[in-house]
Structure 1
Amino acid sequence: MSWLDGMVDEGEVASQEQRLDRTTDRLAPGAFTGALSTIGPGLLRGAIEAGRTVQTTALQLGSAAIESDLSMGASYFPEFEDGQVQAQREFGEGEARRIGEETAKSVMDLRPDPTEVGMVGQILGEAAAVLPRAVAGTFAAGPVGAAVAAGAPAGYSGKQVAMAEGIDETTATLKGLIDASTVGVGAVMPAARFVGPVIGDAAIAVGANVGLGMTGRGATGALLESNGYHLQAEQYKAMDGTAILTDAVLGAAFFGIGRAGMRRPTTEHVDAALTERTIQHADVDTAPGAPINPRSAVAHQDALRTAIDQLQRGEPVVLPESIHSAQFLRAADESPVAAPSRDMALATARQDLEPTVRLELEQEAAGILPNVRDVKTELASIGRSLDALDDSFKARAKEFQQQGQGRKRAEQSAREAIEAERLELNDRQTSLNDALNGNRSAELARAELAALNRGETPNRLQDRMDVRADAIAKGFERSPLAAGVAEGNTKLTMAQIARQEITRILDDIERAEPTLQAKPLEIGVPRQAGKPDVVAAEGAKPATDAGHPATDTQESASAPGKAATDPEIAVADEILARAEDMQLPTGATDADGNAVTVSARELLAQADADIQAAHQDARGFAAAAACFLQRGF
């Protein structure tokens, strides 16, 4: 038909196309065009984004750990580094680049094409990609898990797709952060619970997610525009209708997911949990240990129930006989760490030091001279030359005179030549002696290496083994700080700690200045006076009854004096006077939730006042009892 087409005038063809309004552009898809076909690719795209994000994160963490290990090994053995850290870094970067390129290709192939898929299909495709992983993150870790599961893959795929479209890595990274923040914050926003009613809270959540989407698109467009990517920036419009509807649908879905994952427990759930905890406390926590058999467990439960019933009836507690035959496994005391024996410490020290000593011996043994006889012959020759230097003075002076120098000048030149030759011979002699000494050390190292191969312990290793063994044995000894922590873990009371400290201080004082022990004096009983004409001492009370002699004020005053001069109390007062005041918690809290504390000094002062009041009350009770016994009222 080409010959027939050629017969038609081109102007006629153009006129007909203009009349029929023909165009080469494709028809715009309808709202529901290809809607259902985007769900499957959307699910696959979401799974790929999540999986590749996890894979890249694991790769980077593993590569960083390997690089750290290689760097640490290179710090100890620099000769074995040989570019391993750089090679590992390049391998990690290459793998991450490969995964990113594959992710970008998969995402670009699976996301819906706006020229072929309608608005509903685009919304369903985006929802299918984001919502399943958001649900999984919510049930795994709550709202935070939903934010991470929804936002992190979106940000990673956004960065990789941007780099695949020709955007530089820095700009792509910033774009990915914007995408991750927008989706992640939108997923976690329902946890805020802005208002009480569900409808109002849902409306706020949906509107906030739409606002986030508009902000994210505006920020992305501004970022691309500022960096010179004008064509890409045109794709991100804040008022894009399809994107706004997508954000609204995702916001409603996020709200539903968040409310489903944050359901408050009902009263029945709380009561059931409290009942279960009470039963566990009664059956397990109050037991003296783990029962060895069911009979012991039942005996403990029966004894506890019987004791509670008896206390409620006001009866004395009488435990049943079955509890006495019950057996429980109690927690064993912490077994002290046993220090190794001397032989074990030496064996461990040999195992630690033998590789290092072997390496040192091998390096020293490599310095053996192959021609020791020639070195010794040369040394003997140098010695003879040094001895003959002074005898060659006249001959050297005569040679310089023959060269035209005067006598004094020739003698001076001869002395200078002799000194220069002596210095050169001495240097050579020193170097040869050093070589012989090194050869001697190498021979000794070879012998020690042979002894080490035979299982023997050379002297060089023995000294270092002793030092290392002492360090190993000392490592099992508790330092003062560790001993204090261990003692504190025993939950000693303040009284026990103070008593131990006072005993230690008194022992130190006793060792420094031994106390003289007083011996009692044997004094006879004084005779009874014939008549009471003796004047009572000042401050003494007259006797009111024959059976009750007068009390001496000195004896009565000796009680507080004795308490004041008691060495334990004096030392305790001295310790408290020098130490800083201690704030003890009372177990209560103030209005702000802070723990209420009291001063230890105030508590001690209050305890002293209570003791004195108790002594006064005791005297009053004794007087009242005596009065009642004597007079009957």
Structure 2
Amino acid sequence: MSWLDGMIEDSEARSQDQRLDRTADKLAPGVFTGALGTIGPNLLRGAIEGGRSMQSTALQLGSLAVESDLNIGSSYFPDDGQVADQQQFRETQARDIGESTAKSVMSLRPDPTEVGVVGQILGEAAAVLPRTIAGAVVAGPAGAALAAGAPAGFASKQVGMAEGLDESTATKKGLIDAAVTGIGVALPAAKFVKPILGDAAIAVGANVGLGMAGRGATASLLESNGYHTQAAQYKVMDGTALATDAIMGLAFFGIGRANFRRPTAAQVDAALTERTNQHADIDTAPGAPVDPKSAMAHQDAIRSVIDQLQRGEPVVLPDNIHSAQFLRTAEESSVVAPSRDSALVTARQDLEPKLRVELEQEASGILPNVKDVKAELSTVAQSIAALDDSFKARAKEFQRQGQGRKQAEQSARQAIEADRLDLADRQASLNEALGGNRSAEQARADLNAMDRGEVPQRFQDRLSQRADAIVKGFDKSPLSSGIAEANTKLTMAQIARQEITRILDDIERADPTLQPKPLDIPAPKAAPKPEGAAPKADSVPGGKPTGAKNAPAENDPAVAPKGEVAVSDPVVQVADEILARVEDMRIGTGAMDADGNPITVSARELLASADADIAQATQDAKGFAAAAACFLQRGL
């Protein structure tokens, strides 16, 4: 084959390319091309940007701190080589971090020639939104803006330097990107208007406008520094960038609304009310109630106790609380108040930091030149004492100035008084300084005593008061004391029932009641009556019995007066005896005296008054019956 054959083949290939419209350029990606594949790499990119920016910040701060220490130490032991080595180490490490960050970001960010618009938007959201949410949760709006903007600016600077920008231009470009991203995150917290839709529209529009301004500023910066090719990539009206800004603004708005909203006053009140109910129904119970009846009994007892304490009455729990059942955990040991020595130790541990702060503040007023102050004070005292001796000299001085004798003497007295006031003020200030110095010296001595484990004498009263407060803190409150006392006591009715049962059992054991037994006695045979027999002496016409058989009826308890039966009843006697032993009960009337105290009456007196009223009513009833019978018989 000759070279002519090769020319024919090349010409044929070009002809076919022209006929078929072939091209070596890549095809433009579709809108959704590579959309899902960008989420994972860009999540990693966002994490790398955040981590590397924190690493770089920590490196810079740590290195600057070390250099500061070396510079301070070099004032005594000059060693500029260590400072230079530290600076070189910092620059080397910062350069390595920046290069690795730029390499990672450039390899993970979506390529516009291979990824569509949706993929680019999703990639940017996956890189920025997670760290924005984390910053909002940790530190609110400021944290969200910092978490979103600082890594974006750091990555932008490193990528710009990797693409050929000088460090100054790349730094300014990174600052622009950081400001645009951070302000875009903080915009939703501004709450421009109250309606949520209007606020969302304004926030999204502001984020879009902010993105346009950022791209314009970046293009102007690159153009002014001679980077024309890079400046052409930042178009103010870039469609993909506009869509990304709008979607990111909406996402930032949602994050801001979700995290920056504070609870309303009604929500806070509802939460506090629920917590109060939970404390009353659950926390104060002796355990978990076994059934709803027990839970209701506990709640009724709590309300009853609170009402009784508010009325100033003694605490008496309802009867149903004693039948309530609760599932209790292991019995906790009772809380015992600490001893006096233990309270003093605890009080000292609590007060020692505060006392040290006070003493250190007082000790800071120590004068460095006490001897000079004392010497000046002595000089001022001598000057005050010599003022009166200078009267003649001052008067002559004023006479030489053209004043008359009397006027010169008056001027001399005024000058002496003015000097006396000045010297007195100076003397007072010097004495105050010396007094403060004495207090400072005393404070320093007290600090030394505390270092030795001693407590200064002037703080003993505060220490004792704190120990008393600690011991008193273990005393029960009126509510808890009343509930505990009521739980350990039974009501009077329960005491009476138990005591009656016990006494009756004792009586029964000492003198058992005889039980009647039926006897099998045959019926008597009826004897025939003789004719004309006289009637029996124990009967009278009319069927009414007379004689001896009627006598025992007087001693029959069944026909005895009711009052005598009540007195002879053993149960009533036992009850009276028990009530005589039990302490009297005071019953509230619901009224208040002049001092605002509740008025109560004795239960015994009230019962006695009721018995008297009943007896009087019974007597009056008998009189009414007699009067009615008299009226019916005689008509009077």
* TM bucket, shorter chain: 0.3 to 0.5
- TM-score, scaled relative to structure 2: 0.46
- TM-score, scaled relative to structure 1: 0.46
Larger C-alpha radius of gyration, 1 or 2? Answer: 2
